[in-house]
């Protein structure tokens, strides 16, 4: 029996006939099932959009008369009944991939720790790709029936709201989440009291309350410290993502790692595998070692036991990008831990010590690597980079023999595939194609789809994007805070059917958001070719402390505002998952320009590919594995250039030349019935080769077979 209760708040007044809408609102199954979303949108589409597709806020605000009308609408009730049958069948299924493939492991448990989880825009507690990947991992684990439990934070202020000033500077502001209007469930103990967990920090104890998110069949537990019993500073530990204050960060990571282990134990979970998504949660290894030491083992024996069941995934190919703390800060926050482990200070520091140009630091991935048997990067090239980067931990081995493997990232197809494209696949690939999406054979029937049908879907998705951007511009204009130039910069003049390129991601310097602007006169000729115009839509945020990243946004925005572009350069502010779906579904080309080899994997291009969008990218991360010469285009060569400025020049030349000579002419080359037949052939090749290879279904199965299975079948603790 679990040591906790999840009581869905009874805060809605719903007609009895559709009363289970309240239950569905608290299970994110609806996020990746269009019929589930339709149950809310069909009641009041305008309100559904206003609340950013948040079903809890929606049901609290929707007019009762509209709910009554829905409960008496025969067509609505047919959709409702079918959706609830599908939901019940999904939740009750016993013959999942996991249970049929690993019947002897059905009672095992896998813990998955991450600093952020990007599940949906209604839960804005994610910053970017790391969180989206974690959210996709849980969704796919649910679909596969895997026994995973997630652990992270719920942040009072989410990430941040981005506003772009008239001169292009990113301004940030906070917003405060109302947990009562979010699809999160308060966790209580068996007596109905709030479920809490505590950790010791210097001179005080910090308590965190637990909340739960139901992700299909998976439970995700999120900690929050905004409690009266904590001091004001500690109440802010879970206020927002990625604090720049190292004391806040180390306290957060102690809470996530050590507090997270205690939370799962208190809830009644006994995981047999512990997966750390990046180094933020690496302190969990210390907490697990403490458990063994308290049972009478030496630290060396405890560490050996801990390693058997720990899995660590690194996402960062740059040493400076990994979480690290000065040794004095580790002294301050963890000096009580090493005596409990039976270690000297020096031996403890050695667990995470790395010598940097600026001195010695305690590096979280070093701790995770030392205390994990399963270790992986997130693409083939990133695996190579990681083995070189961490070679010093295995000084007796050559880099290629360093025991760090790779599992290339994937994306959760049901979450990002456009509904109209899904219906087309249902028609031609077979009704059960989604259960076989990771099998290349599933996609051989793509050729059966008539060119005019798949192109009609693409035109529909382009119209949806144009309408979305048009409404985005209208709202900026109505806000009264923007100049006409800013409204035009937000896409008011976007053309629906012109060749449209998307560039949306975090604005870090290595992603080179400026590359397409480096020869502006040449770019203007592409944009303003009357017969073959080109449009580029930019979107993305820079970390609030990343001044160089904000300068790149400013550089892009000033180019966007240049009247010579004719409105064909666009910048959309406040990028989130909702905007991302419109972009990856609606543009024609997805452009990615990282400075190789700094892109560990990337996933946005995978989402674009499944929707028939063609990738145009540097051969870094996932695209180096996905590109075959016929399913998109490359920028530059499959080689590293030590000189960054030289690489910029070479890649910019490749970018412009490929656009001028290949991409633009191909898009506008039409048959007698106005179909770009060669473009459509390339689209089909892209979907056929990329959709199965870069799905989370393939990815999570690889994690299971390569990393979870050894942990689950080792000595259980």
Q: How does residue 488 score in pLDDT terms, banded at 50, 70 and 90?
A: very high
* Residue 167 buriedness (CB in 10 A; 0-12 / 13-18 / 19+): exposed
CA-CA distance, 623 to 634, in Å (whole number)?
9
CA-CA distance, 399 to 465, in Å (whole number)?
46
The pLDDT score that the predictor gives to residue 159 is 87
The pLDDT score that the predictor gives to residue 715 is 65
Query: Strand, coil or helix: what is 196?
Result: strand
DSSP β-bridge partners for residue 501: 536, 589
The pLDDT score that the predictor gives to residue 1 is 64
Question: Is residue 644's pLDDT more than 90?
Answer: no
Question: Is residue 716's pLDDT more than 60?
Answer: no
Are 187 and 210 in contact by the 8 Å Cβ rule? The answer is yes
Question: What are the helix (H) ranges across 128-174?
Answer: 129-144
Whole-angstrom Cα Rg for the chain: 25
Average pLDDT over all residues of the chain: 95
Q: Which residue has the tokens 């994610």?
A: 126
Question: Is residue 48's pLDDT more than 80?
Answer: yes
Spell out the residues 6+ positions from residue 161 whose beta carbon is closer than 8 angstroms to its own.
172, 173, 174, 175, 574
Phi, psi of 171 (to 5 degrees): -110, 145
Categorise residue 618: left if φ over 0, alpha if ψ from -120 to 50, beta otherwise.
beta
* Residue 73 buriedness (CB in 10 A; 0-12 / 13-18 / 19+): middle
What is the average per-residue pLDDT within 115-125? 95
CA-CA distance, 510 to 244, in Å (whole number)?
20
Are 248 and 231 in contact by the 8 Å Cβ rule? The answer is no
CA-CA distance, 473 to 487, in Å (whole number)?
6
Q: 211-220, 313-322, 394-403: which range is least confident on average?
A: 313-322
In this structure, what token pair is assigned to residue 51?
Answer: 């609340």
Q: Tell me, what DSSP letter sits at residue 542?
A: -
pLDDT tens column, 189-243: 999 999 999 999 999 999 999 999 999 999 999 999 999 999 999 999 999 898 8
Helix, strand, coil percentages (3-state) for the chain, rounded to 5, are: 50, 15, 35
* Percent with pLDDT over 90 in the chain: 92
Question: What are the helix (H) ranges across 209-360?
Answer: 232-235, 246-254, 260-267, 284-294, 299-309, 327-334, 337-341, 345-350
What is the average per-residue pLDDT within 536-553? 94
Query: Strand, coil or helix: what is 152?
Result: strand
Q: How many residues does the chain have?
A: 717
Q: How does residue 317 score in pLDDT terms, banded at 50, 70 and 90?
A: confident
Are 301 and 137 in contact by the 8 Å Cβ rule? The answer is no
pLDDT tens column, 90-103: 999 999 999 999 99
What is the average per-residue pLDDT within 689-713? 98
What is the average per-residue pLDDT within 631-652? 92
pLDDT tens column, 489-523: 999 999 999 999 999 999 999 999 999 999 999 99
Query: Strand, coil or helix: what is 304?
Result: helix
The pLDDT score that the predictor gives to residue 717 is 43
CA-CA distance, 98 to 540, in Å (whole number)?
37
In this structure, what token pair is assigned to residue 264?
Answer: 């799962």
Q: How does residue 10 score in pLDDT terms, banded at 50, 70 and 90?
A: confident
The pLDDT score that the predictor gives to residue 673 is 95
What is the average per-residue pLDDT within 387-412? 97
DSSP characters over 358-422? TEEEEEHHHHHHHT-SEEEESSHHHHHHHHHHTGGGSTTS-GGGSS-EE----B-HHHHS-HHHH
């Amino acid at each position: 029996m679990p040591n906790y209760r999840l009581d869905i708040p009874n805060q809605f007044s719903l007609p009895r006939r559709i009363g289970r809408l309240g239950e569905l609102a608290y299970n994110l199954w609806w996020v990746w099932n269009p019929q589930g979303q339709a149950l809310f949108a069909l009641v009041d589409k305008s309100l559904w959009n206003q609340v950013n597709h948040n079903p809890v806020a929606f049901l609290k605000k929707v007019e009762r008369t509209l709910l009554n009308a829905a409960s008496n609408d025969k067509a609505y009730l047919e959709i409702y009944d079918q959706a609830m049958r599908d939901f019940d069948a999904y939740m009750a299924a016993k013959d999942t991939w996991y249970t049929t493939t690993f019947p002897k492991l059905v009672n095992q448990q896998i813990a998955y720790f991450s600093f952020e989880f990007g599940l949906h825009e209604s839960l804005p507690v994610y910053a970017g790709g790391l969180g989206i990947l974690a959210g996709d991992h849980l969704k796919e684990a649910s679909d596969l029936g895997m026994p995973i439990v997630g652990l992270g934070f719920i942040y009072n202020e989410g990430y941040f709201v981005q506003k772009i000033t008239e001169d292009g500077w990113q301004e940030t502001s906070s917003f405060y989440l109302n947990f009562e209007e979010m699809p999160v469930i308060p966790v209580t103990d068996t007596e109905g009291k709030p479920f809490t967990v505590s950790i010791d920090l210097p001179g005080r104890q910090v308590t965190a309350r637990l909340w739960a998110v139901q992700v299909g069949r998976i439970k995700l537990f999120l900690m929050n410290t905004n409690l009266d019993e904590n001091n004001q500073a500690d109440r802010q530990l879970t206020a927002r993502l990625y604090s720049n204050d190292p004391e806040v960060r180390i306290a957060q990571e102690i809470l996530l790692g050590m507090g997270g282990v205690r939370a799962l134990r208190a809830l009644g979970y006994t995981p047999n595998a512990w997966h750390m998504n990046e180094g933020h949660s690496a302190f969990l290894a210390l907490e697990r070692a403490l458990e063994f030491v308290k049972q009478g083992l030496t630290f060396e024996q405890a560490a050996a036991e801990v390693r058997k069941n720990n899995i660590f995934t690194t996402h960062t190919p740059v040493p400076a990008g990994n979480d690290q703390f000065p040794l004095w800060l580790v002294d301050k926050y963890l000096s009580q831990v090493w005596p409990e482990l039976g270690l000297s200070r020096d031996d403890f520091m050695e667990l995470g010590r790395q010598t940097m140009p600026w001195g010695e630091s305690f590096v979280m991935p070093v701790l995770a690597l030392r205390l994990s048997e399963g270790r992986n990067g997130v693409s083939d090239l990133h695996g190579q980079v990681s083995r070189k980067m961490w070679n010093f931990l295995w000084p007796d081995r050559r880099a290629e023999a360093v025991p760090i493997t790779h599992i290339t990232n994937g994306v959760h197809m049901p979450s990002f595939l456009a509904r109209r494209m899904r219906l087309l696949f249902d028609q031609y690939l077979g009704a059960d194609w989604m259960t076989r999406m990771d099998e290349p054979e599933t996609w051989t029937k793509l050729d059966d789809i008539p060119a005019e049908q798949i192109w009609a879907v693409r035109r529909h998705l382009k119209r949806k994007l144009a309408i979305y951007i048009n409404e985005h511009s209208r709202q900026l204009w109505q806000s009264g805070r923007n100049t006409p130039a800013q409204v035009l910069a937000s896409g008011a003049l976007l053309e629906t059917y012109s060749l449209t390129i998307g560039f949306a991601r975090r604005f870090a310097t290595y992603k080179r958001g400026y590359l397409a602007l480096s020869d502006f006169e040449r770019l203007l000729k592409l944009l303003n070719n009357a017969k073959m115009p080109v449009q580029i839509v930019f979107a993305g945020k820079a970390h609030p402390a990343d001044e160089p990243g904000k300068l790149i946004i400013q550089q892009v925005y000033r180019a966007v505002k240049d009247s010579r572009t004719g409105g064909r350069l666009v910048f959309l502010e406040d990028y989130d998952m909702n905007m991302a779906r419109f972009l990856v579904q609606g543009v024609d080309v997805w452009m990615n320009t990282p400075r190789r080899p700094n892109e560990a994997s990337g996933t946005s291009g995978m989402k674009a590919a499944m929707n028939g969008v063609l990738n145009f990218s540097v051969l870094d991360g996932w695209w180096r594995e996905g590109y075959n010469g016929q399913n998109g285009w490359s920028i530059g060569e499959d080689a590293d250039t030590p000189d960054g400025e030289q690489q910029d020049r070479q890649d910019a030349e490749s970018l412009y030349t490929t656009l001028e000579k290949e991409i633009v002419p191909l898009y506008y080359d039409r048959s007698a019935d106005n179909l770009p037949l060669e473009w459509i052939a390339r689209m089909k090749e892209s979907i056929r080769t990329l959709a199965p290879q870069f799905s989370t279904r393939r990815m999570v199965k690889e994690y299971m077979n390569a990393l979870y299975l050894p942990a689950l079948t080792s000595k259980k603790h």
